[in-house]
Structure 1
Amino acid sequence: MATVYDYFARAHDRWPDRPMLNVLPETARAYAIPPGEITYTEAMRRVDDFTERLRGAGVGEGMRAALLLENRPDYFLLWLALNRLRASVVPINPDLRASELEYLIGHAEPALIIAVPDRIEALRSAAETSGVEAGIVAVDDAFPSPRKNAVTARLSEDGDTREAAVLYTSGTTGKPKGCVLDNSYFSEVAEFYAGLGGIADLSEAGERMITPLPIFHMNAMAYSFMAMLRVGGCLTALDRFHPRTWWQSVLDSGATCLHYLGVMPSILMELPPGEYDRAHKVRFGFGAGVDPKLHAPFEARFGFPLSEGWAMTETGAGAVIMNNRTDRLVGKAALGRLPDWLEIRLVDEVGRDVQEGEPGELLVRRKGSEPRRGFFREYYKDPEATEAAWTDGWFHTGDVVRQEANGFLFFVDRRKNVIRRSGENIAAVEVESVLMRHPEVTAAGVAPVPDTLRGDEVFALLTVSDPAPEKAEEIARWALDNMAYYKVPGYIAFVESLPLTSTQKIQRAELKALALHHLEKSSTFNLVHLKKRQVS
């Protein structure tokens, strides 16, 4: 195994003149940065420059730099420089608002924060409120000296176990959890993807990958980027998914493979046939959540297979299930068969193994003497949650699946109280806690309701002091200033009370049923049109 920087340095030594990163004109205009390719040689020059600037400022081992840089190349280049200095990164979702930024900065304790200029003031305010005296600058500014007591990561002479990143995921009990990922996590991903084979076979002949997915998530940051470093490929990271220009972008990028989320095939199939539908060089797509009804028609129309799979930030490449074999199932919502190195159990709510074909929570671990190999190291500052996730030596995923006699696994539901909207995990409890801060909300219950395009939508059942019709939109607009737009309720219904247990906890199953019931009622307010990404 090796560090993230080691993978980059090896690729640079083998393929110095190959392109490593590519910025299409559409993304360049969105970010006001130059378009074009960045070769491994140019990337090394820029990483060297970042390294010297960071080292000169005093950044070193055990420190964290929080990065809010959207999908810009500088994100990857700064990460490589920091990794070289034995420091790590904390990616910041640019959609986060004030209270979310305050929590993340206060919890992660970064030594410095590097951000796009138009978010610096919001970050400074959040850092001040959280009590973290971190310098906050743009990429081209002079990097500040790290604050006192800036070493917060566990130190390690072993490159494999040295912290490389802390990624925040939606927790099921309210606040997001910081997943500590070491270098071996990213090494395992690189080697797994490079050796995956089947319909998702990668070569060292010059692969080109395109992704519109955010690089503050493990999919783009680990799977896309590390795979391209491993095989000497080029990554085109778009600023976001633009449906009407998608196939033009795929063609212009020269992509041989692409990454997607389930909402993308659904949107693309809605568009009229066009001249670029098959003008590309794509051999396969890698992703999850395609509508089973659209799986085969999508492949027939656009001319390449979709390799569906399952993984989590916590599992990395330690536990992955892929439907990448040539005998895969199409249109069945199949996750795939188990690889020979993975061990699973499917259990009921009291931990008993279920019968074949019956749904149960998926428990996973690596076979052999290293059951946690390739997984996240820990939840930062939360050893109790880490050990709870690994109860009895198995990682408890919270996902309910079933396994048929042919060995294929199929996703059924989520046992955890998480809403999955357009690829984003949303903790219902976190949304409830923000809504309860509104001065007129006296009780809040949040549940998922089905959405044909996004998978789930957020439904809030609220008790309020004044249930006037205009109040729902006022609450939604207030929420847009206090949390990421995708977490804001798409539907609000005012109710007299919420279903509670004898200990005054929300009865989640009844709440979900109540949300579905209210979804069809004329008294429910549809606010989905308000949920748009904010520019600052």
Structure 2
Amino acid sequence: MHQYELEDRTIGRILADKAATVGERPFLTFRGERWTYADAHAVTNSYAEGFRRAGIERGDHVALMLPNRPEMLWAIWGLGKLGAVAVPLNTAAKGDLLVYLLDQSDSVLLVAEDAYRARVDPAVAKVPAVREVIGPDRLAEFATLPAHDPPEMAEVGHSDPHLIMYTSGTTGPSKGVVCPHSQGHGVGMRMASLSGYGPEDVLYTCLPVFHANALWFTVYAALWADACVALSPGFSARRFWDEVRDSGATVFNALGAMANIIWQQPRSPRDREHRVRTAMMVPNSRELAAGWFERYGIGVTSVYAMTENSAVTVFGPDDPPEKASSAGRVRDYMSVQIVDDHRRPLPPSEVGEICIRPNERGDIMLGYYEMADATVAATCDLWFHTGDRGHLDTEGYLYFADRKKEAIRRRGENISAFEVETVLCRHPDVVEAAAVPVPSELGEDDVMAYVVAAPGAELDYAELIGFCAEHMAYYMVPRYLDTIDELPKTPSEKIEKYKLTVAARERLGQLWDREKAGVTVRRS
């Protein structure tokens, strides 16, 4: 694997070098089409020219709302070559959340799939700074433009902002993580090296490219390994193994719920009919790793990471199987410390907040966009405070325990309890709400919400779910609901979420469940 110095870790410089050195190697496949490394460099040059003709200059922010397909990568990298900043948006965003993301990011242009226009156009109308919406037809025109290296490419530095990626708000609105060019390349370098990826590998992903998992842990890892990416439009349990086999995949990544769904498929004589040798799964366990190896012949790896940082710890193919329940071992490039509520370091085996500090430049975010207070709060004492809790063992392996924050993780999506509550409280029959995580039979969490009814109101749960589905992304819509006279609070009027969470888990079978009630939520 070729090592690029920090100063060369921009998407423009690395793509140019790949085109010159391994240009004919396959880089990307999608629905039967194929692009080489030279193709990727050329088409992103053309996209850079297209964005320039659309008035985009260095430092401008451009929001991208596209499904999994090559155009998403070409747009991100074309903007990067200009020194502009890409703002990948969750394709399920709508309503107030979409307005907030466009406005808070200071985006001046939006690239969106035609199928999303019914949601996009009303949101854009409320954000005057967005001067144009570009659709797929215009992107197709971009691909026909001259493919020379844009002059701005040489001026872009490794520490320049490349992406604003939104992570869930936990005690407030979602935060925009400002990622320098070098951050994703740091992830790619570490994953390729520690996972043993090489030029003959095919890294399959059906996870959304607007998330760091697919973008950094698959695409950038392949880029550093001179490997090929097999991109799928999205996850389907029915199509999964056929896509893996047809693509010749040797590696794939899976989130907890996805691994469980695949596992629940009926056993088949074809379970080992594939080329996959490793799958990165988050979270991992000894039972899961042993089961996947026994059934599929696949070794399981894992990682602890956040959008704000890098691959903090990695459980690689050479780590001992008895450590499979960990998120991997602390490596030389990163320091990890576990602290108590008073920020005092804890010894091995004691659970506390996970704090990290990079030992090399360029591996973590530049900060939260236009949220200086949140940036300072997360990086106090010269450590980044993750808001997650866990412990280290005596050999430096990190074990995740739970989330100190109020985020809810459902089927690979981090959900802001604050944003769920905000929508619920907009309903005329609701005066207060609290969203909490409860266990899901698929792993990770399901969303449960307590609501306080307005005086004299009688809540219709099915109607309330319909209201939620209209005003929030489908994956945020609560599965469970319960009415409560008043929410438990501290003397400072903060809701005691831990009491609500414990009560919900104890009474889970008694709660109103939209799935049991037959109330469905569309993904559109």
- Length-normalised TM-score, structure 1: 0.89
Is 2:313 aligned against 1:321? yes
CA distance in 2, matches of 1:344, 1:63: 35
Deviations 1:378-418 (CA, angstroms, capped at 9, x unpaired) = 10001111011001100001111112234322111111111
What amino acid maps onto 1:375 in structure 2?
A: I
CA distance in 2, matches of 1:182, 1:77: 18
Is 2:229 aligned against 1:231? no
CA distance in 1, matches of 2:137, 2:177: 29
Distance 1:294 1:531, change over 3 A: farther
**Worse-superposed segment, 95-104 or 223-232:** 223-232
Is 2:440 aligned against 1:457? no
What amino acid maps onto 2:18 in structure 1?
A: A
**Matched residue, 1:362:** 354
**Residue 20 of structure 1: which of 24, 27, 30 is its match?**
27
CA distance in 2, matches of 1:450, 1:483: 21
Is 2:345 aligned against 1:353? yes
CA distance in 2, matches of 1:425, 1:53: 33
**Residue 415 of structure 1: which of 380, 396, 404 is its match?**
404
**Residue 99 of structure 1: which of 96, 99, 120 is its match?**
96
CA distance in 1, matches of 2:358, 2:490: 38
CA distance in 2, matches of 1:388, 1:156: 35
CA distance in 2, matches of 1:306, 1:500: 43
Is 2:195 aligned against 1:207? no
Is 2:341 aligned against 1:340? no
SS at 1:81 equivalent: helix
**Matched residue, 1:481:** 470
SS at 1:236 equivalent: strand
**Matched residue, 2:213:** 219
Matches within 5 A, 1:46-61: 46-61=43-58
Q: Is the 8 A contact 2:245 2:274 kept in 1?
A: yes
Q: Is the 8 A contact 2:285 2:326 kept in 1?
A: no
**Worse-superposed segment, 453-462 or 125-134:** 125-134
SS at 1:412 equivalent: strand
Deviations 1:435-485 (CA, angstroms, capped at 9, x unpaired) = 11111101101111111204111100111136647x111111110111111
Deviations 1:304-330 (CA, angstroms, capped at 9, x unpaired) = 11101110000124xx11111524235
Count, aligned residues: 504
**Matched residue, 1:134:** 131
CA distance in 1, matches of 2:503, 2:160: 47
Structure 1: give runs of 5+ residues left out of the alignment.
Answer: 25-34, 145-154
**Matched residue, 1:426:** 415
**Worse-superposed segment, 175-184 or 308-317:** 308-317
- Length-normalised TM-score, structure 2: 0.91
**Matched residue, 2:17:** 10
What amino acid maps onto 2:56 in structure 1?
A: V
Q: Is the 8 A contact 1:11 1:231 kept in 2?
A: no
Structure 2: give runs of 5+ residues left out of the alignment.
Answer: 1-5, 143-152
Deviation of the 1:97 alpha carbon? 1.5
CA distance in 2, matches of 1:271, 1:64: 43
**Residue 263 of structure 1: which of 257, 280, 284 is its match?**
257
CA distance in 2, matches of 1:421, 1:530: 18
CA distance in 2, matches of 1:478, 1:462: 14
Is 2:512 aligned against 1:524? yes
**Residue 238 of structure 2: which of 235, 239, 244 is its match?**
244
CA distance in 2, matches of 1:227, 1:53: 27
**Matched residue, 1:32:** none
Q: Is the 8 A contact 1:459 1:491 kept in 2?
A: yes
Deviations 1:344-367 (CA, angstroms, capped at 9, x unpaired) = 221111222223211111111023
Identical positions, percent: 32
**Matched residue, 1:279:** 273
Distance 1:524 1:387, change over 3 A: same
CA distance in 2, matches of 1:65, 1:232: 28
**Worse-superposed segment, 390-399 or 511-520:** 511-520
Is 2:62 aligned against 1:62? no
Q: Is the 8 A contact 1:501 1:507 kept in 2?
A: yes
Is 2:154 aligned against 1:159? no
SS at 1:130 equivalent: coil
CA distance in 1, matches of 2:75, 2:154: 21
CA distance in 2, matches of 1:51, 1:399: 38
What amino acid maps onto 2:24 in structure 1?
A: D
CA distance in 2, matches of 1:332, 1:21: 31
CA distance in 2, matches of 1:277, 1:515: 38
CA distance in 2, matches of 1:286, 1:502: 44
What amino acid maps onto 1:132 in structure 2?
A: A
Q: Is the 8 A contact 2:259 2:281 kept in 1?
A: no
What amino acid maps onto 1:183 in structure 2?
A: H
SS at 1:62 equivalent: coil
Q: Is the 8 A contact 2:18 2:38 kept in 1?
A: no
CA distance in 2, matches of 1:42, 1:353: 50
Distance 1:373 1:82, change over 3 A: closer
Deviations 1:19-62 (CA, angstroms, capped at 9, x unpaired) = 221113xxxxxxxxxx3222233334432332222222222201
What amino acid maps onto 2:196 in structure 1?
A: D
